[in-house]
Amino acid sequence: MSTDLASKLREGTKHSHTMAENTAFMKCFLKGIVEREPFRKLIANLYLVYSALEEQLQRYCTHPVVSLIYFPILNRKANLEKDLVFYYGENWREQISALEAGKVYVERINEVANTEPGLLVAHAYVRYMGDLSGGQSLKKIIRSALDLPANEGTGLHEFEQLPSVEAIRAFKGQYRDALNALPVDDALAEKIIAEANYAFALNRDVVHELEADVKAAIGDHVFDLITRQDLPGSTERSPGNNAIRLVAAE
């Protein structure tokens, strides 16, 4: 059964992708403004999200749908733990806490796992393809903005088993093929696309909750200058644009 799910996901989430790029947090980020405190809070909440997602993917590693997009080499939890040690210290577990939006995100992952596990495909797609796509450019921004020491602070976007641009590109092709091979009918494919759009919204809610911290750090005037103008979406523009794509299963 082939549904061309990879293309449908890409097309079906274009608007959500644009909205993600136009959060105030991301606009600042793309201008090279990465404030350490809100950024480490983001890392902490993504750790909770990935912990839930990877626990559920492992739980359903023999599921007829989920198993086909379960690639342990993508797991981010261990890398995020290294990041949290770097940003918080060895006692990071006592310091981090979930944002309200982070709690909702985790709860949704667990909810779909318990009710319709096939929808985990959507959450895996949004997170991991983002890390492998725009995340690689965001890594450079983070390293420059925070003047990080070598091999510290960007574990989220480091894929040790995919050490080159070529390796990442080849794996993304493998992932796209896996999506297209999923035994899903049109109805489930539509549900997965809808869930992927919701995953984008959940992620936007997390960064929205951090915007006050960014504004406090850089000042209202600078914040407003940077965030007042919307950006055209990288996946909604013509081919050949060089904008950072947060998610691209290509």
pLDDT in tens, 92-145: 999 999 999 999 999 999 999 999 999 999 999 999 999 999 888 899 999 999
Q: What is the model's pLDDT at position 103? A: 98
pLDDT at 239 over 50: no
**For all residues of the chain together, what is the average pLDDT?**
91
Distance from first CA to last CA of the chain, Å, rounded?
Answer: 20
* Residue that the structure tokens 């996901």 belong to: 9
Cα 81 from Cα 96, distance rounded (Å) = 11
Structure tokens at 227: 């965030």
The pTM for the full model equals 0.91
The angle formed by the CA atoms of residues 41, 43 and 46, to the nearest 5 degrees, is: 110
Per domain, the residue ranges of the chain are 5-227
Q: What is the model's pLDDT at position 146? A: 94
Q: Per residue in 143-199, pLDDT tens?
A: 999 999 988 999 999 999 999 999 999 999 999 999 999 999 999 999 999 999 999
Confidence of residue 220 (pLDDT cuts 50, 70, 90): confident
Output DSSP code: residue 69.
Answer: G
CA distances 138 to 51, 66, 110, 190, 244, Å, are 21, 28, 28, 30, 8
Percent of the chain whose predicted confidence (pLDDT) is above 70:
91
pLDDT at 234 over 60: no
What CATH number belongs to 5-227?
1.20.910.10
